[in-house]
Structure 1
């Protein structure tokens, strides 16, 4: 949908005025009134008739950019009467992607507006007062014809018409069409790329967005440029890589078109890689160990040794990797200084790295292990830590070893180095080692602090890792809960208990059972439909149908180590409660036995939201049902109250939304099918629990 079209008129003359579009501007061209008149879109062709039926040859034809005339009581053009004349405007224009428009017409007397021959506005009457009307229409994509017919029977004559895109973001959701005619050229001397495309036809077009991406990558969310022009010049980085461009049109409502086909350019490579970072040098068993970080876009590297007196550089090695062992260096105190630089595939050299110096003696302690973590289970303390690939890899190759120190504030507990087997894994993407070991020889319910060291082949010990303090698992189940109560409700059984004495409770679970003749309880397992509350952790609602059954309930606490009391433990708290019984008189859950065509089921949800009532119809009679009547059981009156009716659908389940379903209760329903003669089918009895969560 694209730039507003409000159409005006000029005073009638003996010469027709033809308006043609040139570079977006309207250019007036005069032509004899008798000549064939051509009006270039979006200019209207205007025809004057000496009658109100638009019959015969027009008395005059010219071009009009805007329909907004007030002839008062004068004739609209030479050779036309003051009364009983007609004027017709027509234009066929490209609406681009189309969209929502407002058509507005007003005037004295009759006005009719057509889109592709279909009448959209009809104000066709002789009136002495101004009439007006606005209609909202959706115009499809592409070219469409607008026609405005105006007649004046008697008196003053005036007419006004506008076709305006509706650009509110809540109304206009139509994207512009993808720009066409896209092409790109690249000047290898200036390094500039020029992108061009054809102009979109949408009337509410706001502009274009240009995006650029590197080959193999995705277009960013932010455009490279925003413009109202149909071309854009860019200077992509001179890296020898291929860059792609696309153009997207966007309108005043913020809708953006899809992108054009990729337009690619391959730039001239004049840029060397970045300077290498992370250069390290240290004496080791194998000689001088040199390592540095990989540089994006590097095809090779040059490693130099720098003369400390003259500053001159001597090429040590040209290589494609990021590490080198300078084995000409002995294990002595002679200092050696190194720098490295990267080269790309075109031979462009980058800047030198920062210099690094070292002698051949390995006397530096390794880096401390980092990110020590501990996970405690009921039987094991799992320790894990990290170390960078370089130089840890060299240290491990040369017989370095990790040691784990454990300490405690308790004097009666053994402390010292833990005898655990260290396992390792290497993340080749992050260039980082992960190490693990486990300690399973500890005292329960004891606080320990762990630290890790790395000792190299020369006996140099690293600083300790970050300490981590844990308390090991206990082996004692939580104490029995106290104050357990069970309150029957219309949506289930509400269980509550006192704050437990234990402070490491992780969760609670409820069990329901039946008291046996010998006084023992036969437990039926955990109640899966019990819902607890973050706001009230000492309560849960066990959602169930209130059908008057008596059960024994218990709630078991489980601590963070998985310890819990058995439900059969004599000290476990139990409570006996009888459910409410609010079922209606008619049988529930026996629709099949009744033999009718309808049957309904029940259901509950942990959500407090109401759910549709559902039932199914089976048999030939279903096709003859004209409506379903839905009633709900009223416990106070002990009768069914009619809620409403629903029309049958082709869905397997018929449904009814009970917006008044009570919260915190079970609702019993009665549904009957009504035939054309007024007779009713046997009822279905669906039910729904809408729990009032704690």
Structure 2
């Protein structure tokens, strides 16, 4: 018999194996892998096969595997949509390596997303919240996601091929958090961007005030209006003004801010001395963000009214040596009258009065009627008998030594009715 044992040490065996033949490659798009196969080499000292791979356009080979079989499935090939070349080389027990097979090309499926967008910011505009971000290479479109907390559940609210998006569905005065992703040509979606927070500024005014009525009274006017339905109502403002334009034609109410009132208020007493003037009023509703229909449009539904005329038919003459001031007193003290001149109080006078007489106008008798008389030096009197909810007119005179009176000084006081 005859036996042969090949000499396989590297110092003795310098012969390379033959290049493998019958090489083929198939790409599985579902599994994103490449399967190579080839014919078995016939060398008795064959040790196995080495698989090499390179990216198209590159000269650098990588060796993903070594095998003794005549096929290999490469599950590590990147799913980037790029083309890769494979070749197989045989090697023997002495370490000799054959030349590579002819390159076998595969084009991989693209399952690699781009990087997430950067630079995301949210800006409040009148029509919604605008989002802006930096562009990403390879992007075909972008998806916008929104949540009400940074780490909450994000819902897609839109998509765009631009580098900005206007979220018109954002509700005013609510803080939202946004993240943006990239879609590439293969439909791969990137990771979500870093969150950006934004709050849509409240620019919506409350509805205009309705149902305003203005009723003249002896102390001015009583205003009433309908309750405003705005949920974020903060206050009302009352304006009083004068009518500009010719009577009988369209007139403009040139109003001046008179009073701020709490949100729950639907009425207001405007006190003034009624002397028959024709005036106008309007009421504006303001929300917690400072919005109001009058602020934005500079228009409002105004109501015109004519004051009652409570002016006494007897005028106060000029030339009195006294000065009178009448003001509503606190509580039940009526109206407070104070005067000066003719030695009133501690004031020095060459001819001090021997006393002072106080008169109040009585519309029923159309005359000033005396309600009190003081001694010399007095300067103050509380008219506790004054009617509330009206305008009271007063005179004060000084009494001379011979009993005659000086010319009167006059003033008036307006009091609201008891509530």
TM-score, structure 1 normalization: 0.31
Larger C-alpha radius of gyration, 1 or 2?
A: 2
TM-score, structure 2 normalization: 0.49
Relative contact order (C-alpha < 8 Å, sep 6+): which is higher?
A: 2
